[in-house]
Amino acid sequence: MKFSIAKAPTPETSPIARLLEQQAIPRPVVYELGTHAGYTAMGLLPVVKKLDGMLYCVDAFEEETSPGRIEKNEMLETFLDLVYGAEFQKHVTVIRSAKKHAVRVLGDETADFVVFPQDQTYEEIREDILTWYPKLRRGGLICGPNYEKPMEELDYNAVIRSCGPDAEDPEHLGVVRAVSDFFPDVQQEEGIWYAIKASKDRPLFNTALHFRQRKIDLVIAQDAFERAVVELELLGRQCADPKDAIAVYEQMVRDNPFHVNGYLGLGAALMEAGIPEQATQVYKKALDNGFVNAPVYSQIARACVKLGEIGRAEAYLQASIRHDMAHMPAWVLLIQLYMNQKNTAKAVNCTIQALRAAPPDIDVLSVLSRIALKLGDKRAVETALQLVEMIDPNHLLAGVLRSGLSRSRPAPAEPPLEQASC
């Protein structure tokens, strides 16, 4: 006797079906990942048929639902019997394939509604979000089960422990973590999480880098998260042996992949250990994971200098400056790079621009003033003097600059800093 769903959900009893009905998109395209025996699909299909849409059921149909209920070789046949019995066949397309293969052949921004399967681990749902979110159209909805509590009600340390590769996760904390990391505006209804894709461009990672950037109240989770990060970061800094520091920061990156300090610490430890090639890969991974900012660009430039890749270093430093004009480490390294190349005109030009972009801080101005004096350029020294005098005209540095001004000379004119692409 073939298996049948005696109590299949209806649009009234299925929160996922209600979400689809509330979207009210004419002729919606719905992707369901992991159809199995069709329990969720049979709840969605009345709404799909009402809206004259199409439900794409993505499943290899090779897993047993539960012991003694249905064999894996009968699952697809059972599901199709249900579909034809309810006359939904015109609104169903079966894609008999594993998710990782199906996602490669489906176009981006082709779906109005994406449904995730049950009982996923943290790594599984994270991978599904990364690969299936691009398939969703602007204004479309993505959702899934097993979201029992919002992140702010959980102990983040317990969440982290439950997300390891061999950890048991009966409360589905991995689902909560992955969803909350990617969608800070996630909503919940009867154990179902859902989020709507913004109608305008909004980078997926830029809303999920770390708790400090969130605009929702995650105070409890944030405190636990920050404590764990700070403890590891302090431990890494205290390591006398770079190899020990590398091990600490590698753990930090594994445990907290959405915190940039782990990547920066690991890269610095690799540089200290004399392995700039690996440091470059770490910084590139940080960029790939969404940490597109001035410090990461600046550090990868340092690694490129060590490798003798001067052209790439210059491009990364200019990218760092474009992201943050006040990021002085990038300016100083770029000036040093031009000075080493004996390109005085560019070095002077960068020094003047750095001085104009610098914060009103005497320590920062002191570094740039020493560079201006070393270059011996009148414009650079004058610019430094003006800025120092605005803070404290009687400061010792002001006197040094006045003395240096009498010995300085004008340098060849140089056009503004080039906008190189990396």
Residue 59's SS3 state is: strand
CA-to-CA separations, 253 to 108, 284, 286, in angstroms, rounded:
30, 14, 10
Full set of structural domains in the chain with CATH:
15-219 (3.40.50.150), 293-405 (1.25.40.10)
Tokens 């589905």 belong to which residue? 172
Residue 35's Cα: distance from chain center in Å?
Answer: 29
Q: Name the maximum alpha-carbon separation found in the chain.
A: 101
CA-to-CA separations, 177 to 151, 162, 163, 206, 417, in angstroms, rounded:
7, 10, 8, 16, 43
Instruction: Provide the phi-psi class of 176: left if phi over 0, else alpha when psi is between -120 and 50, else beta.
Output: alpha
Helices (H), 201-343: 219-238, 242-255, 260-272, 276-288, 294-306, 310-323, 328-340
pLDDT at 410: 60
Beta partners for residue 32, in sequence order:
57, 115
Q: Give the mean pLDDT of 206-227.
A: 38
What proportion of the chain, given as a percentage, has pLDDT over 90? 36
pLDDT at 81: 86
Reported as a single tens digit per residue, the pLDDT across 170-216 is: 888 889 988 988 887 889 988 999 999 876 544 443 333 333 333 33
Q: How confident is the model at residue 97 (pLDDT cuts 50, 70, 90)?
A: confident
Contact at 8 Å (CB) between 110 and 135?
yes
pLDDT at 411: 52
Q: Give the mean pLDDT of 94-123.
A: 88
Alpha-carbon distance of 191 to 145, in angstroms, equals: 6
pLDDT at 172: 85
CA nearest to 419, candidates 329, 340, 314: 314
Reported as a single tens digit per residue, the pLDDT across 45-61 is: 999 999 999 999 999 88
Q: How confident is the model at residue 28 (pLDDT cuts 50, 70, 90)?
A: very high
Is 421's pLDDT higher than 60? Answer: no
Higher pLDDT, 117 or 185: 117
Reported as a single tens digit per residue, the pLDDT across 142-178 is: 999 999 888 878 777 777 777 766 677 788 888 998 8
pLDDT at 419: 40
Instruction: Provide the phi-psi class of 146: left if phi over 0, else alpha when psi is between -120 and 50, else beta.
Output: left
Angle at which helix 344-357 crosses helix 378-391, to 10 degrees, equals 20
pLDDT at 206: 34
Tokens 């930090």 belong to which residue? 252
Q: Give the mean pLDDT of 128-135.
A: 90
- The lowest-confidence range among 89-93, 129-133, 361-365, 378-382 is 361-365
Alpha-carbon distance of 7 to 186, in angstroms, equals: 29
Sheet holding 192-196, edge to edge: 92-96, 54-59, 29-33, 111-115, 136-144, 192-196, 187-189
Angle among Cα 169, 173, 177 to the nearest 5 degrees reads 135
Reported as a single tens digit per residue, the pLDDT across 327-382 is: 999 999 999 999 999 999 999 999 999 999 988 888 888 999 999 999 999 999 99
pLDDT at 73: 57
Higher pLDDT, 202 or 279: 279
pLDDT at 314: 94
